Amino acid sequence: MTGHQSGDPARRASRRGPPAVLLLAASLLVAACSSSAGALPTSSAETAPPGATGSTGTAPSASAGGGPVGGVDSVEEAIAAVGELDSNFLGYEPLDPNVIGASNWVEVEETADGYALVFVSGSGDCPAGCINRSNVKFSVARDGAVERRCEWHTGDQAAGTPC
């Protein structure tokens, strides 16, 4: 009975459970998936109910003269102007339809006087397109003036005008 004795190393290994390497790999996978959801922006306006006072407003960017030196001439400069106003939106990039699993991006529309930017923060199964989304719309004029237009969440009607 040499193969069935309790002292047999092969039998002891089969009773121990999954090897440590599998547990480590599973832990890393869970950590990577939970951190890929990204943080949703938090601001006083975001927590206010739709239509509440203070949920929209105009604010110049942080640089002198009402906008970046030389104005806003590109999408990247428009996104940076919003980031100067609200640091929750730093690090966002324009939507790339070829990227799978993104949790934060900016939808861009060029307007007659600048850009309309929708900052999207997703969470919940983003590799499949994100179950939950928080959207915040800004207008950025060519002179650098930034206006927070409105915000809404998945399933909500957009608050503010026009949105």
Tens place of pLDDT per residue across the chain (163 aa): 555 555 555 555 555 555 554 445 444 444 444 444 444 444 434 333 333 333 334 443 333 334 455 689 999 999 999 999 999 999 999 999 888 888 899 999 999 999 999 999 988 888 887 888 899 999 999 999 999 999 988 877 655 555 6
Contact criterion met (CB below 8 Å) for 66 and 145: yes
The pLDDT score that the predictor gives to residue 17 is 52
Those residues with Cβ within 8 angstroms of residue 147's Cβ, 6 or more apart along the chain or in another chain = 56, 57, 58, 59, 138, 139, 140, 141
56: alpha, beta or left, given left = phi > 0 and alpha = psi -120 to 50? beta
pLDDT of residue 49: 34
Is residue 139 within 8 Å of 109, Cβ to Cβ?
no
Predicted local distance difference test score (pLDDT) of residue 102: 86
What is the per-residue pLDDT for 87?
A: 94
Q: Three-state DSSP class for 115?
A: strand
Question: What is the predicted pLDDT for the residue at 142?
Answer: 96
Query: Would you state the pLDDT for residue 109?
Result: 96
Q: CA-CA-CA-CA torsion for 141, 144, 149, 150, nearest 10 degrees?
A: 130
Phi, psi (rounded to 5 degrees) for 59: -145, 135
d(CA 13, CA 50): 59
